[in-house]
Amino acid sequence: MSLTYEICIDSVAGAVAAEKAGAHRVELCAALFDGGLTPTLGTVRAALAAVSSIRVNVIIRPRGGDFIFDEHEVAAMEHDVALVREAGAHGVVIGALTPEGTVDRPVVERLMAAAGGLPVTFHRAFDMAADPFGTLDVLAGLGVARVLTSGQDASALEGAPLIAELVRHAGDRVIVMPGGGVTDRNVARVVAATGAREIHFAALSEEPSPAVHRNPYPFMGGELRRPEYQRLVTTSGGIASVIRAAG
């Protein structure tokens, strides 16, 4: 059985690297440090223009933290879904929960309506849901195309037993896609343990900034911060390594 490979990226260069490595789809985000936020419309358009043989799905998430959104955030997401659809995105990635850990159906229905028939992935908000099987049933009934999950654990490898049960429970109603901590060292085990048909991972490597002039004193973020002159970039080699390891 052939696998579908989805790469989590945060740049146009990442989309190009994923296409070069033979991936099938990317999830385009901003702020991977926060778990992925809505990228700018300019980035979406540039990514779509830069690749031709790979599908570009776009995450719609206005902030980090929980997945309980107020009316203003929902309105912003609704607009963003419509904008990326109009830009030519191949799918959108969304998620919304109630304070009790159930799917926020009215919000998901609004966002799916704004998607206008584009395939919808429910992101790892799923991993914060109270009842994974009931949540999967609700999402399948809503017409969601796939669910991204680490099996409600720290990584897809640790959550593999639950993911396998979810794959069986889903049947052909909705795709269950493992993601979270997938690397070339564990991807074959995740696939074998879960029976998944699609796999989601990032392939980031540290790369120094090209800046020659450097000021070591100011930082552009808060106290929890990465080095100012270091980048994380998606590499074709890293993606290819995982694909080879998956067999």
- Classify residue 93 by its DSSP letter: E
Identify the residue with better confidence: 217 or 41: 41
What percentage of the chain has pLDDT greater than the value 90? 92
Phi, psi torsion values for 234, nearest 5 degrees: -75, 130
- Averaged over 40-67, what is the pLDDT? 98
**Domain spans of the chain, in order of start:** 4-209+234-246
Cα separation, 96 vs 111, in Å, equals 10
Q: Indicate the Cα dihedral angle 107, 109, 110, 115, nearest 10°.
A: 130
pLDDT tens by residue, 156-168 = 999 999 999 999 9
Distance CA(67)–CA(83), nearest Å, equals: 21
pTM confidence score: 0.93
Question: Is the pLDDT confidence value at 131 over 70?
Answer: yes
pLDDT band at 175 (very low <50, low <70, confident <90, very high): very high
pLDDT at 231: 84
Q: What does the pLDDT look like over 187-211, one tens digit per residue? A: 999 999 999 999 999 999 999 999 9
Residue 26 contacts residue 54 (beta carbons within 8 Å): yes
Q: Is the pLDDT of residue 226 over 80?
A: no
The tokens of 103 are what?
Answer: 């799917």
Q: Look up the CATH number of domain 4-209+234-246.
A: 3.20.20.380
Q: pLDDT class for 1, splitting at 50, 70, 90?
A: low
Instruction: Describe the chain by its helix, strand, coil percentages, rounded to 5.
Output: 40, 20, 40
- What's the token pair of residue 97? 């929960």
Banded model confidence at residue 217, pLDDT cuts 50, 70, 90:
confident
Confidence of residue 139 (pLDDT cuts 50, 70, 90): very high
Helix/strand/coil (H, E, C) string of 185-230?
Answer: CCHHHHHHHHCCCEEEECCEEEEECCCCCCCCCCCCCCCCCCCCCE
Q: How far is the C-alpha of 167 from the C-alpha of 183, rounded, in Å?
A: 20
Tokens standing for residue 242 = 């995982």
